[in-house]
A and B are shown apart, each in its own frame.
Chain A
């Protein structure tokens, strides 16, 4: 989607988040130089185009009790990887699933699935179960738990569009 100058002003006004006041879209309109109704109309269009995925909460998983964050990686034969990826997304505890390039010799894995859970042992058991269910247990795989997080703020609009 090609952003208009007015869209860019609106996204600039939104960068710090949605104002926590009863009429947030009116406040954004004041900042961006447009009426409240136009803010609402443009945000609806930006959401429909996917530029704004959604409005609302950006939760820190850790703070709501999902302390075990496991990046599960597999080396899946290229002719199977799309089918396996599609299937893994049906598991409710897989929150992200991507195919990425292998980086040999150190990194042989091409399928990445993020599994969140409250506790490490349970997440590991769940991953074993997922691999079993999908006939993947024999494939080379690894589970990388996160031990520290330095930044979690999502993509900034300016970094992408400035």
Chain B
């Protein structure tokens, strides 16, 4: 990532123009040309700096739900259990963390009942207790990281 890439990442985190030539407009604001912006975005996606370029969906505005879940997975079973958990399409992200509860993942589903059903399937497949921690209150969601 060079200085121009960092400028692109910082400049586009807030959103993207809704007009017929959005890359052209965004590029102009960044002091680039349209073709270069498109090429650089394609490379950032290819190299994995961006997981994607496009819409960030809010499951809850469609009536859906997110649930955070935690498991205490024995060290020697960790990779196998991670594969089983990640195989569920509803699992949006999954992190190993330093704690007795060492696997933390988020389930996105169309209803709270469906989310709980996914957790139940994971419990049955792995034989490990899954603690469900749905959010009760959200105080803020923002992204203000400057690359």
Contact = CB atoms under 8 A, between A and B. Distances in A.
A157 B105 CA distance: 18
Chain A interface, DSSP helix/strand/loop, else mixed:
mixed
A99 B136 contact: yes
A22 B38 contact: yes
Question: Main SS of chain B's interface residues?
Answer: mixed
A86 B139 contact: yes
A100 B68 contact: yes
A149 B106 CA distance: 12
Contacts of A16: 52, 54
Contact of A56 (B51, B53, B98, B132): B53
A54 B18 CA distance: 11
B108 interface: yes
A126 interface: no
Given A107-B101, A155-B92, A59 B9 contact: yes
A98 B137 contact: yes
A40 B16 contact: no
Report which residue of A20, A47, A85, A158 has the largest number of chain B beta carbons within 10 angstroms of its beta carbon.
A20
Interface in A120-141: none
A147 B98 contact: yes
A55 B54 contact: yes
Contacts of A147: 96-98
Contacts of A58: 50-54, 56
Most buried by A among B22, B57, B96: B57
Pick the most buried of A63, A71, A145, A149: most chain B CB atoms within 10 A of its CB.
A63
B12 A56 contact: yes
The 4 closest A-B pairs by CB, nearest first: A89-B140, A17-B54, A160-B64, A85-B139
B86 to A, nearest CB: 5
A144 B97 CA distance: 6
